[in-house]
């Protein structure tokens, strides 16, 4: 049995830089993409680790790549096929698998989140909750990514608290990076060698920018007048500006080796981080098992040690079953837009203005004087009309587009990227390009100084009507401007991966959504690539990126604030507080939608948009004992002997139920509910337990049920009466489906005491569909 636990590819070309998505073969006979490196995972079984490793090194002293000994046991090594088979059969080994190459999931957002929480959802800020936690946080956020640019203003340590005494990590010396580059903000920086990578720099210094961007989003200090060459101007700050940062550089230009990711997890557990944020992984097209996915393995052991782990949901949306990082011990983050539009308009010769989206520094001017032509009107003799309409390479006659603005279609499954089509027009002598695509309209593509904008199909009809009615049609493309208070916002980003989890209908993923579109954050100071630094300009100090990569650190910053205010809470309690206080309403006071205008469902955004402050005081939490995750592994299909290897410290007498099944996963004490009902099973009942975490020990909560027509939902009891002696109470929910309906039905169970609203979304999958 396998599960989609890997992560998604970087983004598309317009999210700053492109890395092709790929994943290692999982068959033990196949060579790993990282040479012939294999990961030997031994769970918590430390007894046989030294013996196996010493035996291996006696045969080949250069075989070892990494050794895992802090949070879990095992090693990564260069192995022959025979050694792979022998180790796989060893009784102390959970799994042996090729080293996978995972990929990255790649300001105003915090102001917008606060506005959503305090204005739209409540008549006043949540009871006793600060607008943004700003003082008293000694939380340590560990980030696994491409490294960090320590000189960025976002990582100043002015006014920062002292480094917590529990911190055991270090700041590694490396190329162009020394321990003096760390401070009270950036307290740790490690890097992991990858001799097979194209990147030769062995250092924690970021050469790509992704890690710097996510680190400043999670915990950067406030920097006034930040912008991307004047766009999105304002104060850029992280979600938890008083938290400390520990960077673990595990990614290179060609990806993120699983062996390095596991080494970083192992170090981070020993170093003393409170949270770990990962915006990386493989494509949703691949489904490694829990025991062969480095992120699922590392996160499991981190959570067992009390460390909260948050991961991006992936960028393979809007396809269903594309969500990744679906292990129940991981907080999985989807991406939404904010109320800032990066608008590049098209002005037609009849003075009509068509709103478009892009990042460009066009110098065409405001006057519509440049001839317009469609791709199909400029086709070469050898090209088909469809190829020319889509502006494919070798389909456009350069003589026909010289000095003109070209209108190009860009279907969702285009054979070529928008960057490739821009290159076709630019190399052919065109002066600008208008691209038609509905989904990317709200995600700004960066074309530098070349005039480019993206418009919707609906707006393209007006341009085509003008061109057909005018013999000498002309237009211009305006340079990008920032449009504030854009509505509706948030909407779910089209690229954000969707549920349900493949093969796991009884666990709702993603968990929650956070801003991930056109996010301004710190950048590396030596980036002279044409996709980031326009011609003739110095590299930017801040950059605008989109992706679930950007959503994950937003959630991590919020989780850090919750942890700082509630230091004894478990990772499950922190996740619960974020889920039950989420927002489902946009700035039009209407339900949050997808970019196609349909109401978003829990399969799109989990519980909704994360609240920056509501989780600090949620009223009730759904806690999970770490050993409950072992029961999940039973329900998922692992046997007792394998689980004993994964987690050495088992409850006395632990064993998997004889009747373990996937349906039993619905009863894990998760803050959301997912059940599968077949026509023959009838009603299904699940149990949940909530803990009162408010100072008011004596309080009564009453249930509210939001359910779709035709679905019967009963909650028993309908009141929860907490006292000083009873701060933990249970209830049951029974779902009775209609007899003739198939598909998915969504709703919520909310407990309220007129001070707090504790909302749990649910999804009922009828007939397993």
Catalytic residues: 145, 210, 549
Give the pLDDT of residue 285.
Answer: 78
Domain shared by 176 and 304, yes or no: yes
Distance CA 107, CA 518 (A): 10
Give the pLDDT of residue 255.
Answer: 87
Residues in the chain: 769
Domain shared by 47 and 134, yes or no: no
For 625, residues 6+ apart whose C-beta sits below 8 A from its C-beta are: none
Distance CA 281, CA 312 (A): 8
Bridge partners, residue 263, by sequence: none
Q: Does residue 386 form part of some domain?
A: yes
Q: Does residue 647 form part of some domain?
A: no
Q: Does residue 23 form part of some domain?
A: no
Give the pLDDT of residue 407.
Answer: 98
Query: Residue 748 has which token pair?
Result: 């919520």
Q: In the listed set 460, 482, 504, which residue is the last one of a domain according to the structure?
A: 482
Question: Is 5 within 8 Å of 296 (Cβ atoms)?
Answer: yes
pTM of the model: 0.91
Query: Residue 208 has which token pair?
Result: 């790509």
Bridge partners, residue 599, by sequence: 593
Domain shared by 334 and 302, yes or no: yes
CATH code of residue 706: 2.60.40.2310
Give the pLDDT of residue 679.
Answer: 67
Per-block mean pLDDT, blocks of 10 residues, the chain (769 long): 32 26 30 69 79 85 91 93 92 92 66 41 31 61 97 95 95 96 98 68 93 96 95 93 96 90 97 97 77 94 96 92 94 95 96 96 94 96 95 96 97 87 96 93 90 96 96 96 93 94 91 96 89 88 94 96 96 98 96 94 98 94 91 93 84 87 95 88 93 92 95 97 94 89 91 96 81
Question: Is 463 within 8 Å of 454 (Cβ atoms)?
Answer: no
Question: Is 309 within 8 Å of 570 (Cβ atoms)?
Answer: no
- The conformation of residue 326, written as its DSSP 8-state character, comes to -
Q: Does residue 18 form part of some domain?
A: no
Strands (E) across 99-222 are located at 101-104, 140-145, 186-191
Bridge partners, residue 593, by sequence: 491, 599
Question: Is 247 within 8 Å of 204 (Cβ atoms)?
Answer: yes
Distance CA 593, CA 608 (A): 10
Query: Residue 66 has which token pair?
Result: 């990494």
Q: In the listed set 482, 512, 527, which residue is the last one of a domain according to the structure?
A: 482
Distance between terminal CA atoms of the chain?
A: 19
Query: Residue 485 has which token pair?
Result: 């208070």
Q: In the listed set 590, 616, 642, which residue is the last one of a domain according to the structure?
A: 616
Domain shared by 247 and 141, yes or no: yes
Domain shared by 313 and 220, yes or no: yes
In SS3 terms, 391-430 reads as CCCCCECHHHHCCCEEEEECCCCCCCCHHHHHHHHHHCCC
Distance CA 49, CA 159 (A): 44
Domain shared by 166 and 279, yes or no: yes
Distance CA 519, CA 511 (A): 21
Range of the domain at 681: 669-766
Domain shared by 132 and 276, yes or no: yes
Structural element, H or E, at residue 170: none
How open is the CA angle 649-653-655, to the nearest 5 degrees?
Answer: 85
For 757, residues 6+ apart whose C-beta sits below 8 A from its C-beta are: 581, 619, 750, 751
By the 10 Å C-beta count (0-12 exposed, 13-18 middle, 19+ buried), 250 is classed as buried
- The conformation of residue 637, written as its DSSP 8-state character, comes to T
Distance CA 165, CA 351 (A): 65
- What's the alpha-carbon Rg for the chain, to the nearest Å? 26
Query: Under DSSP, is residue 628 helix (H, G, I), strand (E, B) or coil?
Result: helix
For 487, residues 6+ apart whose C-beta sits below 8 A from its C-beta are: 339, 586, 587, 588
Question: Is 39 within 8 Å of 68 (Cβ atoms)?
Answer: no
Domain shared by 426 and 397, yes or no: yes
CATH code of residue 368: 3.50.30.30
Domain shared by 455 and 505, yes or no: no
Domain shared by 294 and 158, yes or no: yes
Domain shared by 366 and 281, yes or no: no
Neighbours of 397 (CB within 10 A): 15
Domain shared by 168 and 311, yes or no: yes
Q: Does residue 628 form part of some domain?
A: no
% helix / strand / coil in the chain, to the nearest 5? 20, 25, 50
Question: Is 487 within 8 Å of 499 (Cβ atoms)?
Answer: no
CATH code of residue 124: 3.40.50.200
- Into how many domains does the chain fold? 4
- The conformation of residue 440, written as its DSSP 8-state character, comes to G
For 643, residues 6+ apart whose C-beta sits below 8 A from its C-beta are: 630, 633, 634, 650, 654, 656
Give the pLDDT of residue 118.
Answer: 39
Question: Is 206 within 8 Å of 147 (Cβ atoms)?
Answer: yes
Question: Is 704 within 8 Å of 716 (Cβ atoms)?
Answer: no
CATH code of residue 80: 3.30.70.80
């Amino acid at each position: 049995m396998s599960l989609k636990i890997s992560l998604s590819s970087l983004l598309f070309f317009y999210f700053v830089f492109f890395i092709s998505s790929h994943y290692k073969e999982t068959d033990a006979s196949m060579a790993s993409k990282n040479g012939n490196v294999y990961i030997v995972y031994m769970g918590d079984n430390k007894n046989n680790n030294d013996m196996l490793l010493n035996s291996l090194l006696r045969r080949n002293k250069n075989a070892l790549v990494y050794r895992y000994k802090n949070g879990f046991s095992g090693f990564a090594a260069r192995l022959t096929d025979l050694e792979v088979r022998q180790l796989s059969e060893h009784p102390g080994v959970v799994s042996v698998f090729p080293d996978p190459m995972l990929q990255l999931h790649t300001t105003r957002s915090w102001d917008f989140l606060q506005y959503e929480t305090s204005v739209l959802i409540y008549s006043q800020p949540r009871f006793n909750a600060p607008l943004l936690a700003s003082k008293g946080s000694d939380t340590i956020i560990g980030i696994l990514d491409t490294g960090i640019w320590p000189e960025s203003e976002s990582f100043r340590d002015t006014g920062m608290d002292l480094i917590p005494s529990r911190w055991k990590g270090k700041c590694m010396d490396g190329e162009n990076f020394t321990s003096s580059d760390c401070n009270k903000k950036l307290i740790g920086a490690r890097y992991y060698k990858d001799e097979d990578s194209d990147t030769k720099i062995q250092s924690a210094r970021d050469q790509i920018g992704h890690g710097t961007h996510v680190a400043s989003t999670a915990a950067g200090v406030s920097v006034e007048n930040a912008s991307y060459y004047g766009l999105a101007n304002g104060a850029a700050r992280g979600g938890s500006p008083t938290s400390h940062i520990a960077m673990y550089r595990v990614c290179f230009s060609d990806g993120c080796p699983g062996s390095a990711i596991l080494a970083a997890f192992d170090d981070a557990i020993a170093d003393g981080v409170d949270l770990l944020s990962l915006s990386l992984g493989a494509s949703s097209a691949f489904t490694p098992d829990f025991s062969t996915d480095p992120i699922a393995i590392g996160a499991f052991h981190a959570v067992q040690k009390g460390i909260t782990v948050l991961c991006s949901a992936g960028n393979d949306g809007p396809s269903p079953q594309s969500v990744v990082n679906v292990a129940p011990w991981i907080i999985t983050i989807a991406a939404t837009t904010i109320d800032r539009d990066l608008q590049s308009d098209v002005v037609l010769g009849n003075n009509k203005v068509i709103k478009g989206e892009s990042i460009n520094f066009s110098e065409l001017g405001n006057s519509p004087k440049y001839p317009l032509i469609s791709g199909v009107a400029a086709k070469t003799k050898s090209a088909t009309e469809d190829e020319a309409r889509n502006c494919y390479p070798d389909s456009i006659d350069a003589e026909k587009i010289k000095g003109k603005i070209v209108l190009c279609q860009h279907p969702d499954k285009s054979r070529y990227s928008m960057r490739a089509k821009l290159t076709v027009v630019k190399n052919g002598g065109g002066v600008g390009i208008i691209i038609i695509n509905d989904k990317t309209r709200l995600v700004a593509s960066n074309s530098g100084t070349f005039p480019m904008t993206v418009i919707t199909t609906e707006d393209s009809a007006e341009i085509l009507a003008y061109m057909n009615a005018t013999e000498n049609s002309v237009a211009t493309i305006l340079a990008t401007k920032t449009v504030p208070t854009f509505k509706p916002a948030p909407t779910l980003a089209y690229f954000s991966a969707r549920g349900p989890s493949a093969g796991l209908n009884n666990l709702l993923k993603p968990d929650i959504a956070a801003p991930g579109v056109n996010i301004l954050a710190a950048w590396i100071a030596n980036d002279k690539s044409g996709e980031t630094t326009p011609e003739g300009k110095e590299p930017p100090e801040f950059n605008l990126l989109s992706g679930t990569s950007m959503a994950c650190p937003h959630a991590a910053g919020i989780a850090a604030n919750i942890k700082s205010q509630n230091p004894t809470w478990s990772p499950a309690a922190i996740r619960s507080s974020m889920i039950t206080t989420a927002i489902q309403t946009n700035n039009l006071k209407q339900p949050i939608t997808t970019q196609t205008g349909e109401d978003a469902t829990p399969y799109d955004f989990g519980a909704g948009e994360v609240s920056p402050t509501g989780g600090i005081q949620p009223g009730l939490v759904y806690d999970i004992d770490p050993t409950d995750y072992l029961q999940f592994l039973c329900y998922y299909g692992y046997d007792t002997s394998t689980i004993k290897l994964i987690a050495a410290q088992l409850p006395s007498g632990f064993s998997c139920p004889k009747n373990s099944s996937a349906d039993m996963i619905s009863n894990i004490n998760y803050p959301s509910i997912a059940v599968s009902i077949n026509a023959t099973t009838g009603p299904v009942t699940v149990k949940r337990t909530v803990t009162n975490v408010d100072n008011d020990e004596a309080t009564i909560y009453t249930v509210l049920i939001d359910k779709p027509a035709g679905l019967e939902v009963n909650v028993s009891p309908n009141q929860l009466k907490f006292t000083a002696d009873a701060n933990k109470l249970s209830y049951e929910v029974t779902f009775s489906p209609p007899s003739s309906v198939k598909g998915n039905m969504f709703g919520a169970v909310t407990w309220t005491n007129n001070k707090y609203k504790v909302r749990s979304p649910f999804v009922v999958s009828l007939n397993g569909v």
